Each structure stands twice: as C-alpha cells, then as structure tokens.
Amino acid sequence: MEIRVLRYFLAVVTAGNITKAARQLHLTQPTLSRQLADLEAELGVQLFVRGHQQITLTSEGEYLRARASELVDLAEQTTANLQAGRAISGTLSIGAGESSGMARITRVIGELQADHPDVRFNLISGNASETEAALLHGTIDFAVIMGERPLQQYHTLQLPDRDRWGVVMKKDDPLTRQAAIPASALVDRPLIMSRQGMSSDHFLTWWGSDRERLKVIGTYSLVFNAQLLVSQGAGYLITYAGLLNNANQAALTFRPLTPTLSEPITLIWKKNTVLSPVARLFLRRLRQQIAHEKTGHQPEADNR
C-alpha cells in the first residue's frame, strides 16, 4: 500500500463522495476511482458500497480507515523529523489521559517550544489502553499512564506527582460538610465512574465490603462531560483532584476520598526504538526538571 493512495482513500472517506474528493485532490473522477479499485484489488477486499450520491464503508473499509490514519500520521511525523536535520525541530507526540500531573509535561513542552520555535507537538487524549495502543502502533512518542498497570515491556519514568481520587458534587450537597469522603458515605448514592477506576484492583480494595452496595449509574471517558451530568443533579463523579473545569467551579466542588487513594503517573516509551532528536531532548529536560526538584540545583541548558 502506498501512502499516497491511503491519503486518497481517507479523502474519499471524509468527503463521502468520490466526485467531491476528486475535486479536492485535483484529480479526475475516473483516475481516483481507478486508484481505489486498484487498492481493493491489492487487498482482496471490498472497501466501499458505492451509492448514487454517497459511498458507505464496509467493515473492512472501517478497519482500513483507522489503520490508514495511523500510517499517514506516522509517515508525516517521520518525514518531518528526518527533514529537521541537525536543528531541533520536528513533532513531539504524547498520549495521555486527564490528570493534573500533565502540568509537568506541558510545562516542559512549553519551555522546549519557546527555545525551539520549529518544534511542533501533538497531545492525544485517551485512556491507558488507547494511549498504549497508539504507542505500540508508533503514532506517538510517549504515553502518560495514570494508575497501576504492568509496564515491564516499556522504558518508564516515574513522575513525582500522584493523582488523588475524590468526589465532585454540587456545592449545596450535604456531603460537602465533610472534608473528606469515606466509602460508607457513598453507599447507595448514584455514582459516575471511569471504566479504568472501576476495574482497578487498588480501587476495589479501597471500597472494601462497601463495594457490594455501590450504585454505579454510568461511566465516562471525558471528565468535562461527566461534570455536566453532576451539574444536572444526576449523581456524584468519582475522579482525580484538579480536574474541575473553570466553567463548573461556581456550581460544583471537590472532596478527596478518605483514607487517601492516589495513583502513580508514569511516562512510558517503546523499547528497542530510536527516539527523534526532539523526543530525546524532551525526555532529557523532563529528567533534569525532576532531578532539580530533588536536589535544588538549577539544571544546565541542554539543547542537544
């Protein structure tokens, strides 16, 4: 499969129509149709169901759409990094979930970009499984993993920060009278939890015998959307500290769980792979920042 043809395929998927995509690609419609037919012949599958006005992807086409996007992104990122030469430029891609610990990561990125304006970055949101899959596929340089997870197959850098679990609720809720919330106070209350938190052995141990009486009414992957449900009085959101959106702070508040329940934050990257110059510099600066906090010594400028 050629990257050029995969770009054609993705253009048709986005446009939903071969004629429209051909105009956008500055190709004739017969030329584009022939390229797609050749791709189907090469793969031995049907990718589209061709209607009068619109094309519909088959299940094989849906699979190729996901993988083609990854392959095209990887090709573009590789090209940019190779063309960067000796100068620090190129693209840094990091996948991560929602966590206040990302402030450390973004601070290093901001300083790196300020020193090297040709550097570009992609921050990809997703849960641990999604970001780990992107790392394995090579579409991101690093993944930031929140919580306990087997990571022996990766290089790892444990960050000093930890994410503390707690409850987001309406400010007029009676539970706000408590400085910290025990598991017993959440029994029989409508809870909104992340899927990752629900399956965590660490979390299940914390609930203890009360977990049999929990009332989980829904799950979430984006904290912002879940906060909107809490604003409507739908339930209590179990999430990390520091994620309460500014728009919701007037109506909602956060209380930590007790006993304290917190999770580690770990930066991971693939073993047996060569990092790009910008990825190596990011990693070096992050390590220097952590070492500086431990020792109090200002790190030397390092632009290599």
List pLDDT tens digits, range 167-200: 999 999 999 999 999 999 999 999 999 877 777 7
Q: Pairing relation of β-strands 55-57 and 48-50?
A: antiparallel
- Supply the pLDDT for residue 70: 78
Residue 93 and residue 238 in one domain: no
> Which residue carries 């052995």 as its tokens?
201
Q: What is the C-alpha to C-alpha distance for residues 176 and 252, in angstroms, rounded to an integer?
A: 10
- Supply the pLDDT for residue 25: 85
Share of the chain above pLDDT 70, in %: 93
Contacts of the segment 131-139: beta carbons below 8 A, 24+ positions apart? 131/95, 131/96, 131/97, 132/268, 134/70, 134/95, 135/95, 135/268, 135/269, 135/270, 136/270, 137/70, 137/74, 138/70, 138/74, 138/270, 138/273, 139/70, 139/73, 139/74, 139/77, 139/93
Contacts of residue 79, Cβ cutoff 8 Å, sequence gap at least 6: none
pLDDT in tens, 64-112: 888 888 788 777 767 765 654 555 678 899 999 899 889 999 999 999 9
Number of domains in the chain: 3
Residue 284 and residue 234 in one domain: no
Residue 154 and residue 112 in one domain: yes
Of 80-94, 119-133, 200-214, the one with minimum mean pLDDT is 80-94
Q: What is the C-alpha to C-alpha distance for residues 170 and 161, in angstroms, rounded to an integer?
A: 27
Residue 108 structural domain: 87-161+264-295
pLDDT in tens, 28-55: 888 888 888 888 888 888 888 887 778 8
Cα distances (Å, whole numbers) of residue 128 to 42, 98, 111, 212? 35, 10, 26, 26
Residue type, position 18, single letter: I
Residue 151 and residue 278 in one domain: yes
Q: Is residue 302 part of a domain?
A: no
Q: Is residue 82 part of a domain?
A: no
Residue 274 and residue 156 in one domain: yes
Q: What is the CATH number of the domain that holds 198?
A: 3.40.190.10
Q: What is the CATH number of the domain that holds 12?
A: 1.10.10.10
Q: Is residue 146 part of a domain?
A: yes
3-class SS of residue 127: coil
Q: Is residue 301 part of a domain?
A: no
